[in-house]
Amino acid sequence: MRHSLTARGLRFALRPVAEADAAFILQVRRGHPFIARGAESLQQQREWLASYFDREHDYCFVVEDVSTGEPHGLVGIYSIDRERNCAEWGRWVLRAGSPAACESALLVYTCAFNELGLAKVYCRTLAENAQVVSFHDSCGLERMAQAVEVTVDGNPRLAVEHHLAREHWPIVRRRLAALAERFAQRGKAAASTS
Amino acid sequence: MSIASEREREQRIQELIVRVLRIDAPVVALVRSEIPEWDSLKHMELVFALEDEFGVRFDEAEFAALVSPGEIANIIKEHLAS
Chain B interface with A: residues with Cβ < 8 Å: 33, 36-42, 44-45, 48, 57, 59-60, 63-64
Give the torsion sign (CA, B13, B3, B75, A187).
positive
Give residue limits of the domains in chain A. 7-193
Closest CA–CA distance from residue B36 to any residue of chain A (Å): 5
Is there a contact between A179 and B60 if contact means CB atoms under 8 Å apart? no
DSSP string covering chain A: ------EE-SSEEEEE--GGGHHHHHHHHTT-TTS----SSHHHHHHHHHHHHH-SS-EEEEEEETTT--EEEEEEEEEEETTTTEEEEEEEEE-TT-S-HHHHHHHHHIIIIIIS--SEEEEEEETT-HHHHHHHHHHTPEEPSS-EEEEETTEEEEEEEEEEEGGGHHHHHHHHHHHHHHHHHHHHHHHHH-
Across the interface, of A96, A131, A179, the residue whose CB is closest to B44 is A179
Closest CA–CA distance from residue A175 to any residue of chain B (Å): 9
Is there a contact between B39 and A102 if contact means CB atoms under 8 Å apart? no
CA–CA gap between residue B58 and residue B77 (Å, rounded): 12
The percent of residues above 70 in pLDDT, for chain A, comes to 96
Residue A193: predicted pLDDT: 53
Residue A120: predicted pLDDT: 98
* CATH at B61: 1.10.1200.10
Tens-digit pLDDT profile for residues B2-56? 555 888 999 999 999 999 999 988 888 889 999 999 999 999 999 999 999 999 9
Q: Does this model's pTM top 0.80?
A: yes
Helix (H, G, I), strand (E, B) or coil at B48: helix
Quote the ipTM score.
0.93
Instruction: State which residues form the domain around B32.
Output: 3-81
Fold topology of A7-193: Aminopeptidase (3.40.630)
Across the interface, of B41, B57, B64, the residue whose CB is closest to A135 is B41
Number of domains in chain B: 1
Answer yes or no: are the C-beta atoms of A152 and A126 closer than 8 Å. yes
For B58, the closest chain A residue by CA position comes to: A186
Is there a contact between B39 and A97 if contact means CB atoms under 8 Å apart? no
